[in-house]
Structure 1
Amino acid sequence: MDAKFEYLLRLGDNALVLSQQLAAWCGHGPALEEDLALTNVALDLLGQARLWLSYAGEVEGRGRDEDALAYGRDGPDFRNLLLVEQPNGHYGNTVARQFLFDAWHQQLLAGLSRSSDARIADIAQKAVKEVRYHVERSAGLMIALGDGTALSHQRMQDAVNQLWPYTQEWFESDAVDAQCAAEGIAPAAPSLAAPWRATVQAVLDRATLAMPAYTGHQRGGKQGTHSEHLGHLLTSLQFVQRTYPGAQW
């Protein structure tokens, strides 16, 4: 197992899958400005996915480029977190999922900006600038909806409660995480828990939402064990390439 390759897949797959999720809202957002903003976030993540997966292909050394890794792998070969493959649901579900991810993503990229691998550090330094905006945007929506009407408040609380079990696997360290941390490639996974929780707590407080007390959690995404939702997403994402292999426009 090449730990760096596996870690790069995790980074690329998180961005790719979440980008595909957000792209599904294009033309369906609750307001034109929000529709455009969410599409821009999707494009930011897609650009990050391209950088991570391109580097992963180089590290692997088997001739697979970003497209081969995005369109040619089956579900069990994906290494994204379970959170990002959870359904869009109503807009409050999408907002809650985005904020919980953004708060972690920002902390991760800040750590990766100091990576011993110069290529990873360079990608992270560029990406973290985009993600600062992502956090500001999703946190603002959490506050506006959570501290809005009684209905919006209840929907946001329900969304946070529903997604909370998927927010802990990213802090568990497996062999890949441990090796990358030991080599200075990436920050230790558990080290991100405290700052993430502090950020989330501060926003939930302003949104008049309660942080769930539930302590159990779902895991497996980083190792390739996914929910049925990823399969449905990949069917849409990979349809053209799988139907017409090697097709070019």
Structure 2
Amino acid sequence: MSEANASATRITPGNALRPEDIALQDAKPADAVARYALGLGDDALILAQRLGWWISRAPELEEDVALANIALDQIGHARSFLTYAGRAWDRTEDDLAYFRREPEFRSVHLVEQPNGDFARTIARQFVVSLYQWELYSRLVHSSDPTLAAIAAKAVKEVDYHRDHATQWVLRLALGTEESRRRMIAGLRLTWPYVEELFTDHPLIDEVGDAGVRPSELRAPFDDAVLTVLTEAELDVPAVPGATGGGRLGRHSEHLGYMLAEMQVLAREHPGASW
């Protein structure tokens, strides 16, 4: 078993968050808190859809399992955030996942990007997992008890995601000439979308102590990135940033295609069960 995959085997589907695990089941968030939770839930939902594509396509059988389980964890986070957000508007998690239009989603552009090859997916996962770990580590101190409870469970799972991605960055960067080339290319394609993760938007002022100001996460994120890339003998990519705007409903050209595939069954057969 490889070192990179050894950490992944600790991630199991049973670790995924479930709405019934959330504290304060009857709590109804304020509108601003609901909109904040919606953005976090959308990030997790869209990332899970991307990661799920790797099932049966990963370079190793164990990576099929690892990426599938990470996707399940993200689905769990999405369910928790969307369930909580939906209480403010009397909408269910399924309503929010399957019956919103593209401009109503609040995911960042990074999670919407195509998987590309395995190295590009790892580069995206490396950035997302480090960002989510910093975010949830602070969100556990939220003044909103339900957000704090979701974060307390999510941060434990994201810690494994972070380790998994880090080990693969090192493995690819310090492996063959070809794997190193692909890792460098993956990081360069990913880096334009990093800045949006740490951009403060007006909602964060409305949320106050219930949320986490994104800009405050940038310094510890950069320190964590530098530690790993230094060990991998890589540089932080020097590339122009992308426009962003996902938190305001302005998305990349990729999201609409993904939503069409993700939502088609629920829209064709609303209310169906099996």
Deviation at 1:216, TM superposition (A): 3.1
CA distance in 1, matches of 2:138, 2:211: 7
Residue 13 of structure 1 aligns to which amino acid in structure 2?
D
From 226, 236, 239, give the equivalent of 2:261.
Answer: 236
CA distance in 1, matches of 2:68, 2:33: 30
CA distance in 2, matches of 1:73, 1:188: 26
Could you give the per-residue CA deviations for residues 135-186 of structure 1, whole angstroms, max 9, x where no partner exists? 0000000110011111111111111111111001121111112222xx2111
CA distance in 1, matches of 2:118, 2:262: 21
Deviation at 1:2, TM superposition (A): 2.9
CA distance in 2, matches of 1:218, 1:201: 24
CA distance in 2, matches of 1:40, 1:216: 31
Q: Show structure 2 runs of 5+ residues with no match.
A: 1-29
Is 2:45 the partner of 1:16?
Answer: yes
From 103, 109, 114, give the equivalent of 1:76.
Answer: 103
CA distance in 2, matches of 1:118, 1:3: 15
Corresponding residue number in structure 1 for 2:132 = 105
Corresponding residue number in structure 2 for 1:216 = 241
Q: Show structure 1 runs of 5+ residues with no match.
A: none
Cα pair 2:193 2:241 within 8 Å, conserved: no
From 42, 56, 61, give the equivalent of 1:27.
Answer: 56
Corresponding residue number in structure 1 for 2:76 = 47
Cα pair 1:153 1:209 within 8 Å, conserved: no
- Mapping 1:185-196, distance limit 5 Å: 185-196=210-221
Q: Secondary structure at the match of 1:80?
A: coil
Q: Secondary structure at the match of 1:168?
A: helix
Count of residues in Structure 1 that have an aligned counterpart in Structure 2: 245
Corresponding residue number in structure 1 for 2:11 = none
- TM-score normalised by structure 1 residue count: 0.96
CA distance in 2, matches of 1:215, 1:162: 10
Q: Secondary structure at the match of 2:210?
A: coil
Is 2:31 the partner of 1:6?
Answer: no
**Runs of 4+ residues over 4 Å off in structure 1:** none
Q: Secondary structure at the match of 2:254?
A: helix
Q: Percent identity?
A: 44
Corresponding residue number in structure 1 for 2:142 = 115
Residue 224 of structure 1 aligns to which amino acid in structure 2?
G
Q: CA RMSD in A?
A: 1.2
Is 2:203 the partner of 1:176?
Answer: yes
Cα pair 1:95 1:141 within 8 Å, conserved: yes
Residue 98 of structure 1 aligns to which amino acid in structure 2?
Q
Corresponding residue number in structure 1 for 2:225 = 200
CA distance in 2, matches of 1:165, 1:134: 22
CA distance in 1, matches of 2:187, 2:205: 29
- TM-score normalised by structure 2 residue count: 0.87
Is 2:257 the partner of 1:245?
Answer: no
Corresponding residue number in structure 2 for 1:226 = 251
CA distance in 2, matches of 1:3, 1:223: 14
CA distance in 1, matches of 2:230, 2:209: 35
Residue 103 of structure 1 aligns to which amino acid in structure 2?
L
